[in-house]
Amino acid sequence: MRVLIHSVGAGVSVHLAEGDDFTTFSVEVDDAVDLNRAAELLTGQVRFGSDVQAWVDHDWLVRAGGYNSGPRADAFAAMVAYAARKDWVDPVTQEIAGHVTRRTRNGQGRRSAQHPPNT
């Protein structure tokens, strides 16, 4: 499961990709997106703890993924329970931690925010 953040004009858009993959969780951000600006625009959806960690709102994920009932909701709940056991869920806000990776502008390739490309 990936939360994708793209630049759109002066703003950003956010959506869920691979919503049926409950074995991984990350937040991919286009290189063109300023994290401070994204944090302002995505209040209630995603907040950034650092350049390498984002916290994603649990309720937003439920809405974005359609995890309201049935087997998908059960699989999502199991993923969140696993994340909670690893301390990847904020006990107060219920936000779920995701590792931030940056995408090149053309969407080709990913790189970890903590490992910038060689120059």
Q: Is residue 64 part of a domain?
A: yes
Domain holding 40, by residue range, is 2-109
Is the confidence at residue 33, as pLDDT, over 70? yes
Q: Is residue 47 part of a domain?
A: yes
Q: Is residue 76 part of a domain?
A: yes
The 10 Å CB-count burial string (b at 16+, else e) for 78-98 is: ebbeeeeeeebbeeeeebbbb
Tell me how many domains the chain contains.
1
Q: Is residue 81 part of a domain?
A: yes
What global pTM score does this model have?
0.85
Q: Is residue 117 part of a domain?
A: no
- Express each pLDDT in 43-98 by its tens digit: 999 999 999 999 999 999 999 999 999 999 999 999 999 999 999 999 999 999 99
Q: Is residue 91 part of a domain?
A: yes
Q: Is residue 28 part of a domain?
A: yes
- Neighbouring residues of 59: CB distance < 8 A, sequence distance ≥ 6: 94
Q: Is residue 56 part of a domain?
A: yes
